[in-house]
Structure 1
Amino acid sequence: MEDTKALLEQLKREEAILKFDSFTNETALQVGAKLVEVALQQNLPVTIDISRGDLQLFRATLPNSTKDADSWIRRKNRVVNQFSQSSYLIGTRMKLLNMTMQEFALLDPMEYAANGGAFPIVVENAGFIGTITVAGLSQEEDHELVITVLKQFLNKEV
């Protein structure tokens, strides 16, 4: 329980710090390219998605990725779009409360996945505008890939 509480606090810190000054389609391309570069270096079988609402700005499916990744991306993105927080943070909060998605927010778990890997794009002085999502690994690894690249890209430490 204490580990889960500590994880929740860490996830909150990441979201408080990893914000953009601005975010354009070019930014999406740059972040997406960096995610692809890191994933290829580590031979990770992931699918990467960067979206602003329903508008997909970047998409890459790397070698050995599976078609299941598409469903995971859609379901994780719905969680971030619903709560404006990372899918991992919401899942961790649900775990602490010992609740399912249905109990937590009356949402269909077949449509919403509170598993790590989808992170909110937040712009200073503008707020939540979209999602950066990775699928194909464990939820911790999906989330960590996004966080690692964002820390490098934004030149920020958490």
Structure 2
Amino acid sequence: MAETVQSRITELQLHEEELVFPGFDHRDAWNLGSLITSQAIAAGHGVAIDIRRHNVVLFRCVLPGATADQEEWIRRKSASTLRFERSTALLSEEFAAKDFDPAQGGWLAPEDYTLAGGSFPVRVQGAGVVAAVTVSGLSSDDDHRLVVDSIREFLRTPAG
């Protein structure tokens, strides 16, 4: 069991090492958000998609089938990613491996943060984390996968 957890943590760490942007501006946010939206529509996913720099929303789309709950999940997931500068999927696995619940004892207020997968840092070479890309509406793993697969495709395109 511990080997499985460690291999998942290693996989998630590799996502963050691999998916680094050469730069990221408003146009990139629009293009990446549009790509995620197109992939979600093609797959029939009712999700909400958000790209933000702290409280500045750079891209937002809510597809049919998403619920009002997705707004809260996005707010809390992106807050976690921007605070720790890591994906919520990685944070979730790391805390679970340490058998530590950061909501206990008031360390992370559950009304402000969550470790559910689906939020990923926009890390720019030489600048660090500048934004968070967040999807909500699927399982934590599927939200994470949609974001990671989309970022990977975006970075492979000449314009991305």
> How far apart are 1:81 and its partner, in Å?
1.2
Structure 1 segment 1-158 matched on structure 2, within 5 A: 1-103=2-104, 106-155=107-156
Give per-residue Cα distances to partners, 1:99-128, cap 9 Å, x unaligned.
112359811122210110000011001111
TM-score between both structures, scaled by the size of structure 1: 0.95
How many corresponding residue pairs?
156
Call closer, same or farther: CA 1:105–1:146 in 2, change over 3 Å: farther
Amino acid at match of 1:93: E
- What's the Cα RMSD here? 1.4
2:142, 2:108 → 1: CA distance? 25
Give per-residue Cα distances to partners, 1:66-106, cap 9 Å, x unaligned.
11100000110111111000011101101101111235981
**Percent identical:** 32
> How far apart are 1:56 and its partner, in Å?
0.2
> How far apart are 1:38 and its partner, in Å?
0.3
- Deviant stretches of 4+, over 2 Å: 102-105
> How far apart are 1:2 and its partner, in Å?
1.6
> How far apart are 1:26 and its partner, in Å?
0.2
Amino acid at match of 1:84: E
CA contact (8 A) 1:94 1:104 kept: no
Amino acid at match of 2:49: I
CA contact (8 A) 1:72 1:135 kept: yes
1:41, 1:66 → 2: CA distance? 19
SS at 2:20 equivalent: coil
CA contact (8 A) 2:54 2:79 kept: no
2:45, 2:37 → 1: CA distance? 9
CA contact (8 A) 1:101 1:112 kept: no
TM-score between both structures, scaled by the size of structure 2: 0.94
